[in-house]
A and B are shown apart, each in its own frame.
Chain A
Amino acid sequence: MGEKTIFLCEDSTDGIFTGVYDAWASRLGHGNVKLALKEDMNYELFARYLEVEPDGEKAGKVAASLRRKLGDEDYYHIYCATLSRSREKADYIYRTVAAGLSGGRQGAIMQNLQNPAVCRVFELSRTTGNEAHRYFQFLRFRELESGVLFSEIRPENHILPLIGEHFSDRFPCEHFLVYDRTHRMFLAHEAYKQWVLVVGEEPDWEKAGKVSEKEREIEQLWKGFCRSIAIEERKNLNLQRQFLPMKFREFMTEMR
């Protein structure tokens, strides 16, 4: 076995897919390459490091061929895994893609859960997808003076791209902003337009603090509703916590 080559990718879908492209195109053999994320790396001995510059075109090619050869469902799992907070995701994704695209059988691979890399990608995708679903459930908007709906969240994985579609399909007529405090990013939606991700901008906290006149009243109504809908004889705070863990309650209207 020769020297191992480690491809350092940026922590983004494009970054990882470019890494997959470069590692594949290097023709060093799957056993001799490894993918890792750039930040907080543990450097290995006897390895060669290559920095991968994210490249939209290469990433697009990878995405398209995954779609074509593995199918939409598998592609979606792999895409969700790229949004995970895991530090090892890049290499698992590479191994999964290698299993799906090389060898005798090309095609859907995500069901092959005996393969450790596939199983890990599946788990990462499930965790990320589940967290996105939690924010379908527990994200709360408040109406600002300008009429814009504003929301803050603190997710573990990078779920904004996964929730954009849902909320803009649901509220096409609204202007809304979702601020991800962990990743310091915005999901912005202008009425009747496509949603976009905004990176590197802080919200205007002064404006975000000023809610509309009606907002307080609606909040009171909602809090009252949540109180009166519970049946005292069945009170069960453990069960409530199981379904609605504490970490999601930080920005929830009825929990404040």
Chain B
Amino acid sequence: MKIQEAMSIYEKLDILSDAAKYDVACTSSGIDRKGDGKHMGNTVAKGICHSFSADGRCISLLKILFTNECVFDCKYCINRCSNDVPRASFTPEEVCTLTMEFYRRNYIEGLFLSSGILHNPVYTMELLYQTLYKLRNECQFQGYIHVKAIPGAPQELIDRTGLLADRMSINLELPTSESLKKLAPHKSRRTILTPMRQIQNRMEQNRQELMVYRQAPRFVPAGQSTQMIIGATPENDFEIVSVAESLYQKFQLKRVFYSAFVQVNEDSELPALPGGPPLLREHRLYQADWLMRFYGFQASELLSAKRPNFNVFLDPKCDWALSHLEQFPVEVTRAPYQTLLRVPGIGVKSAQRIVKARRYGALSFGDLKKMGVVLKRALYFITCGGRMMYPVKIEEDYIMRNLLSVKERLPFDLEHYHQLNLFDDCGVAR
């Protein structure tokens, strides 16, 4: 093993970005903050992706671990203490230099700082705080900062850190507490949910403070998020979306991220995934996540205990529509916004455009197409001015056949994927 002092910043960045790559959240969204006219940086609410790596994931933030030394031994993690991997730690100065120099060349939107547990959670959290303090107060950095809260760190320390960060997150790691017990023996559901609740309460308190005094310091203004690993443990999709739903409702999270399990360690507790990470499953979960956050769907509408997994062939919205054909066709010139949202092929933007445009006069199918409606999907479910686009039967088998012939655009190679593992990517036998 190398001696840390001898390491160049290049080697450190190599090790510590490699170690951070399995963290999913690289979003820089959630807050608009204008520059102050003097110092470097601002933030944009919709977020900006600055590059895309070879796996097609966005690079928005400088995503690094402060250190990959760790006293925990989570089975799925490359940095677990029982692994023999090169270890490195940054100093707060190095993190600041990298962030500032990358930022001013427009490489990044800000910093994503996570860390392995060095010595103990309190010590580690203190290091993260020191780094953020330096970056905000000495470098006067006004860009985006996403920082991990380390479970087990004292509340006071998390509070102080949250006043410097834009977003905080605590990883749920795995969907259920049993799985957590099995794969992450040093973590428990309680140590994860407690700080999550604290951050939520502190944000609520901060809202009150801001009402009284507009200039009050803002606590985690872009909200908190979390992530869980998919496919390492036997939970079904229904359990996962239900967990996500309750996180959104009870903890008011901004985002829940799903991370297809990548096998980095050989371990008897971990599943073998000959077909690679369960990407299709991850994709379906994100689709469902969107339906829950923007389309007014509930987890119990999409799946049930009887039908606990997503359809491999159809996206969750089409799947839902096919099993609720009694609610279709929908008349686009009159249907309320919420109903339009439920039509396959109509998204948030096109639904908004339809609602606004129809105030000016009649709509035609041609207009709908120009507004961004995907007619080859929507045509089975809508009427426009009382007519359907073509004379089609509203019948499950017929529509299903036609929808399947319209190739779904998936973010990865479908051919290759289907041949290899059509069913075994879901972790459970059907």
Bound together: yes
In this assembly, does A218 line the interface, its C-beta being within 8 Å of a C-beta of chain B? Answer: yes
Stretch at the interface among A37-45, A53-61, A165-173, A180-188: A165-173
Given contacts A111-B360, A224-B14, contact A233 B262 (CB under 8 A): yes
User: Considering the chains assembled together, what is the distance between the CA atoms of A237 and B362 in angstroms?
Assistant: 44
Q: A137–B50 contact, CB under 8 A? A: yes
Question: What are the interface flags for B87-119 relative to A under an 8 Å C-beta threshold, 1 for contact and 0 otherwise?
Answer: 000000000001001101111000000000000
User: Considering the chains assembled together, what is the distance between the CA atoms of A192 and B40 in angstroms?
Assistant: 11
Q: Within residues 151 to 193 of chain A, which ones have a CB less than 8 A from any CB in chain B?
A: 151, 166-167, 169-174, 192
A-side contacts of B214, CB under 8 Å: none
In this assembly, does B182 line the interface, its C-beta being within 8 Å of a C-beta of chain A? Answer: no
User: Considering the chains assembled together, what is the distance between the CA atoms of A226 and B9 in angstroms?
Assistant: 15
Q: B360–A112 contact, CB under 8 A? A: yes
B-side contacts of A214, CB under 8 Å: 101
Q: B55–A236 contact, CB under 8 A? A: yes
Q: Within residues 205 to 225 of chain A, which ones have a CB less than 8 A from any CB in chain B?
A: 214, 218, 220-222, 224-225
User: Considering the chains assembled together, what is the distance between the CA atoms of A228 and B68 in angstroms?
Assistant: 15
Stretch at the interface among B16-24, B284-292, B374-382: B16-24
Q: A113–B262 contact, CB under 8 A? A: no
Given contacts A234-B57, A243-B56, contact A140 B105 (CB under 8 A): yes
In this assembly, does A26 line the interface, its C-beta being within 8 Å of a C-beta of chain B? Answer: no
Chain B nearest CB from A190 CB (Å) reads: 14
Q: A231–B49 contact, CB under 8 A? A: no
Q: A137–B277 contact, CB under 8 A? A: no
A-side contacts of B18, CB under 8 Å: 228-229
Nearest-neighbor residue (CB-CB) of B54 within chain A: A230
Q: A252–B53 contact, CB under 8 A? A: no
Nearest-neighbor residue (CB-CB) of B53 within chain A: A230
Nearest-neighbor residue (CB-CB) of A239 within chain B: B56
Q: A171–B49 contact, CB under 8 A? A: no
Nearest-neighbor residue (CB-CB) of B19 within chain A: A228
Report the contact-size class of chain B (Cβ under 8 Å from the partner).
35 or more
In this assembly, does A47 line the interface, its C-beta being within 8 Å of a C-beta of chain B? Answer: no
User: Considering the chains assembled together, what is the distance between the CA atoms of A171 and B359 in angstroms?
Assistant: 43
Interface residue count for A (Cβ, 8 Å)?
Answer: 55
User: Considering the chains assembled together, what is the distance between the CA atoms of A119 and B58 in angstroms?
Assistant: 31
A-side contacts of B263, CB under 8 Å: 233
User: Considering the chains assembled together, what is the distance between the CA atoms of A167 and B42 in angstroms?
Assistant: 9
Chain B nearest CB from A155 CB (Å) reads: 15
Q: A253–B107 contact, CB under 8 A? A: yes
User: Considering the chains assembled together, what is the distance between the CA atoms of A71 and B104 in angstroms?
Assistant: 35
User: Considering the chains assembled together, what is the distance between the CA atoms of A254 and B87 in angstroms?
Assistant: 26
Secondary structure of the B contact surface, majority rule: loop
Given contacts A169-B34, A170-B35, A234-B55, contact A139 B106 (CB under 8 A): yes
Q: A149–B35 contact, CB under 8 A? A: no
Q: A240–B55 contact, CB under 8 A? A: yes
In this assembly, does B413 line the interface, its C-beta being within 8 Å of a C-beta of chain A? Answer: yes
In this assembly, does A28 line the interface, its C-beta being within 8 Å of a C-beta of chain B? Answer: no
Stretch at the interface among B311-319, B363-371, B387-395: B363-371
Question: What are the interface flags for B235-262 relative to A under an 8 Å C-beta threshold, 1 for contact and 0 otherwise?
Answer: 0000000000000000000000000101
User: Considering the chains assembled together, what is the distance between the CA atoms of A141 and B40 in angstroms?
Assistant: 14
User: Considering the chains assembled together, what is the distance between the CA atoms of A233 and B22 in angstroms?
Assistant: 11
Most A CB contacts (10 A, CB to CB) among B39, B52, B353 go to B52
B-side contacts of A149, CB under 8 Å: 104-105
A111, A226, A234: which contacts B357 (Cβ < 8 A)? A111
Given contacts A224-B10, A234-B277, contact A113 B54 (CB under 8 A): no
B-side contacts of A112, CB under 8 Å: 357, 360-361
Q: B35–A169 contact, CB under 8 A? A: yes
Nearest-neighbor residue (CB-CB) of B277 within chain A: A233
B-side contacts of A218, CB under 8 Å: 101-102, 105
A-side contacts of B14, CB under 8 Å: 224, 228
In this assembly, does A89 line the interface, its C-beta being within 8 Å of a C-beta of chain B? Answer: no
Q: A172–B357 contact, CB under 8 A? A: no
In this assembly, does A242 line the interface, its C-beta being within 8 Å of a C-beta of chain B? Answer: yes
User: Considering the chains assembled together, what is the distance between the CA atoms of A228 and B104 in angstroms?
Assistant: 21
Q: A226–B262 contact, CB under 8 A? A: no
Q: B35–A235 contact, CB under 8 A? A: no
Q: Within residues 106 to 143 of chain A, which ones have a CB less than 8 A from any CB in chain B?
A: 111-115, 119, 123, 133, 136-143
Nearest-neighbor residue (CB-CB) of B358 within chain A: A114
Nearest-neighbor residue (CB-CB) of A119 within chain B: B370
Chain A nearest CB from B265 CB (Å) reads: 13
Given contacts A112-B360, A218-B101, contact A240 B54 (CB under 8 A): yes
Task: Known A-B contacts: A220-B10, A221-B102, A234-B276. Give 4 more (CB < 8 A).
Answer: A112-B360, A225-B13, A236-B55, A242-B411
**Which A positions have Cβ atoms within 8 angstroms of B?**
111-115, 119, 123, 133, 136-143, 149, 151, 166-167, 169-174, 192, 214, 218, 220-222, 224-240, 242-244, 252-254
**Can you give 10 A-B contacts (C-beta < 8 A)?**
A112-B357, A113-B353, A136-B44, A141-B106, A166-B44, A169-B34, A170-B35, A173-B38, A229-B53, A233-B263
